[in-house]
Amino acid sequence: MKSQKSKSADPATALLAKASRDWKKVAPLEHAPVLHLAILRDLFRKIHAARSTALAYENLKSAENLATIETQLQQIRDSWPQEKPAPVPMVLREKLARHDRRWESFIASEASGLGLEYWVIYASPPLETAEKFNRAIHKLLSPHAVVLFAETDAAPHTPPKAGHWSGCWWTLHNPRGPNGNISGAQSRPRSLNLSSAEKALRILLRWERIG
């Protein structure tokens, strides 16, 4: 019997409460619709993971409740009122056509309609800290930018050191930086203090604007 006391509690309440707090926090921002979709995406993935855990511990009631929430989140996504949907850059279309990137496709369409910029971050973190690095990227970019997805860099600018992973993070940035300045032509987005970000991550980041 796999059920344990610590695994029996339904995690939906805590996950929904955090998503609600995050939703309200970014509501005043001009690119809030993009951030709201990203919050729903992240909530959907956490709910899905929690449902898998509930099933593993044979907590069927919790799993059923979480499955219902998953369906509701998908329905919200599919009926999302995009006022100005716009095509995404050509280089991204094939990547977003994957069945497991439906959320990202909606987020990118919303972002294009709002005039957000597409940037790719290239970095080569050590393999043993790659997941920690990925979480740090998400945290550092929020709330002025959103990570669409990360993938292996098939053609790295510089071959990675032994024991390192070459990755690229496809991201969306508000062209108005934290101070309200239009970014214009530059080699890096204004959406965050990149020198501080690199110091925090302890890894050099290379940026490329798309589209």
Residue 85 has pLDDT above 80, yes or no: no
> pLDDT tens-digit profile of 145-177?
999 999 999 999 888 899 999 999 999 998 876
* Domains of the chain as residue ranges with CATH: 10-78 (no CATH), 116-210 (3.30.70.260)
Residue 180 has pLDDT above 50, yes or no: no
CA distance 48 to 107: 19
203 in Cβ contact with 125 (< 8 Å):
yes
Two structure tokens written together for 184: 């214009």
C-alpha separations of 57 from 16, 99, 157, 194 in Å: 21, 28, 45, 43
Instruction: Read off the pTM.
Output: 0.86
Q: What is the pLDDT of residue 42?
A: 97
